[in-house]
């Protein structure tokens, strides 16, 4: 097993793009582990964390602490959490510190696109109006792109959510339908009405639309590759990567849009599922709560910090070549793929 004292692989002969990907992931993991905002939040529960100097040990400690104290979902969907917690009382001093730390850690702050052009603008799926808001936020960026993609799942919408989304996705029954509703609602007049198809199997769902200028729009619903009851965000990344195959290489880049509270976890998983495997550049931008008028509770920030810690450790382990528990399932789905490390070493990025 690789030495856990260092994020990097032992020095083997690897393509330049892959070494760069590992170095970039390691640098970002170091910065997350040492983030002052994260430290401020953790200090409310365990003052020992700030005395840990090794970033690798910090990530392991944070993951363990978060699993013990901040797992409010307990395997449920976010909307299924109905318990009340003292931390969420508006007068809670500890809750105020969590808000302060979350802002300092950029979990409540807006971020915008850093480049003018991307290979793909990708909208991450979600509940209620999230697909609409994420697509709207992406379209408001002053950028161009070669493809628009929506990454959803076959998660069934409960009756309350079906009512919530009627304004933009009337009749929607799944998270995939929310993506279709968002595209038709925000881009309806720009759609060509040709070169459209939809394929539905027992494992996945794909629809293709096209803008009048010829730009392709893909809506993807991934299978639950890790064995869950529905596909999670990492599954949707993996599904898109497998579909794109050879077109994903170090000359390409993807801009994902999401909400700030989810940005860390979704970025870490995109780095692991796409960047480390293909060299495709990843950027995740996010809107702040004020963009949608939502107010997140302290426990919601803690839940998503737990998700970020889990994803950070998964990324760290991938950099070190350690497979996660359920990778056997993904290996089955990916069994016909070539060795990603065999990609050319002299490819140059366009941005």
Q: What is the pLDDT along the chain (351 residues), one digit of tens a residue?
A: 445 555 555 556 888 999 999 999 999 999 999 999 999 999 999 999 999 999 999 999 999 999 999 988 777 777 777 777 889 899 999 999 999 999 999 999 999 999 999 999 999 999 999 999 999 999 999 999 999 999 999 889 999 999 999 999 999 999 999 999 999 999 989 998 766 888 887 778 899 999 999 999 999 998 876 555 677 888 889 889 988 888 899 999 999 999 999 999 999 999 999 999 999 999 999 999 999 998 899 999 999 999 999 999 999 999 998 865 555 445 544 544 444 444 443 333 333
Q: How far apart are CA 41 and CA 47, in angstroms?
A: 10
pTM recorded for the entire structure: 0.87
41, 101 in Cβ contact below 8 A? yes
- Point out which residues pair with 151 in neighbouring strands: 124, 220
CATH class of this structure's domain 117-294: alpha beta
Contact (CB, 8 A) for 306 and 66 = yes
Domain boundaries, the chain: 117-294
Q: Which of 10, 32, 1, 22 is nearest to 272 (CA)?
A: 22
Tokens standing for residue 172: 């929607």
Contacts of 275 (CB under 8 A, 6+ apart): 21, 24, 25, 281, 282
Tell me how far apart the alpha carbons of residues 70 and 59 are, in angstroms, rounded to a whole number: 15
């Amino acid at each position: 097993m690789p030495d856990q004292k260092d994020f990097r692989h032992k020095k083997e002969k690897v393509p330049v793009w892959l070494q760069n990907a590992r170095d970039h992931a390691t640098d970002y993991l170091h910065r997350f582990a040492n983030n002052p905002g994260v430290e401020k939040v953790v200090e409310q529960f365990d003052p020992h964390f700030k005395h840990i100097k090794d970033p690798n040990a910090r990530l392991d400690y944070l993951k363990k602490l978060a699993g013990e104290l901040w797992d409010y979902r307990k395997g449920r969907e976010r909307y299924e959490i109905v318990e009340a917690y003292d931390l969420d009382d508006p007068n809670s001093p500890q809750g105020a510190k969590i808000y302060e730390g979350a802002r300092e850690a950029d979990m409540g702050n807006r971020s915008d696109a850093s480049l003018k052009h991307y290979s793909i603008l990708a909208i991450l799926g979600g509940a209620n109006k999230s697909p609409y808001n994420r697509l709207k936020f992406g379209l408001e960026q002053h950028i161009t792109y070669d493809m628009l993609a929506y990454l959803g799942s076959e998660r069934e919408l409960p009756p309350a959510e079906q009512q919530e989304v009627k304004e933009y996705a009337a009749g929607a029954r799944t998270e995939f339908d929310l993506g279709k509703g968002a595209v038709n609602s925000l881009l309806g007049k720009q759609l060509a009405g040709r070169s459209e198809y939809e394929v539905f199997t027992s494992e996945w769902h794909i629809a293709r639309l096209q803008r009048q200028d010829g730009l392709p729009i893909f809506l993807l619903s991934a299978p639950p590759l890790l064995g869950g009851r529905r596909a999670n965000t990492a599954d949707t990344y993996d599904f898109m990567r497998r579909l794109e195959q050879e077109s994903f290489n170090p000359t390409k880049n993807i801009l994902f849009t999401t909400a700030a509270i989810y940005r860390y976890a979704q970025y870490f998983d995109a780095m692991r599922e796409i960047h480390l495997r293909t060299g495709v550049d990843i950027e995740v931008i996010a809107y702040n709560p004020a963009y949608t008028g939502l107010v997140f509770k302290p426990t919601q920030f803690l839940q998503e910090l737990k998700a970020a810690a889990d994803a950070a450790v998964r990324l760290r382990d991938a950099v070190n070549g350690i497979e996660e528990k359920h990778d056997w399932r993904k290996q089955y789905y990916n069994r016909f793929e070539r060795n990603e490390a065999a990609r050319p070493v002299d490819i140059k990025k366009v941005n």
